Amino acid sequence: MKLVIFDLDQTLVDLITIHNELTRKLFRRVFGVDATLTEIDFAGKSLLDNFKELAELKRIPDAEFNSGNRDLLESYEDLFEEAIPVDGSKYVLPGARELLSELTRMNHFIVLYTGGSRRIGESVLRITGLDKYFRLRFYGTEVKARADMVMMAIEQAGKLNNRSFQGRDVVIIGDSIRDIECGKEVKALTISVATGFHSRSQLQEKGADFIFDSLKDWRKIVDIINNS
pLDDT tens, residue order, the chain (228 aa):
999 999 999 999 999 999 999 999 999 999 999 999 999 999 999 999 999 999 999 999 988 888 766 688 999 999 999 999 999 999 999 999 999 999 999 999 999 999 999 999 999 999 999 999 999 999 999 998 999 999 999 999 999 999 999 999 999 999 999 999 999 999 999 999 999 999 999 999 999 999 999 999 999 999 999 998
Q: Are 112 and 122 in contact (CB under 8 A)?
A: no
Q: Which domains does the chain have, with CATH numbers?
A: 3-14+90-227 (3.40.50.1000), 16-83 (1.10.150)
Cβ–Cβ contacts within 10 Å for residue 28, how many? 12
Q: Are 108 and 225 in contact (CB under 8 A)?
A: yes
Q: Are 42 and 21 in contact (CB under 8 A)?
A: no
Give pLDDT, residue 69. 66
Q: pTM for this structure?
A: 0.94
Q: Are 223 and 202 in contact (CB under 8 A)?
A: no
Q: Are 220 and 203 in contact (CB under 8 A)?
A: no
DSSP 175: S
Give pLDDT, residue 158. 96
Give the number of residues written for the chain: 228
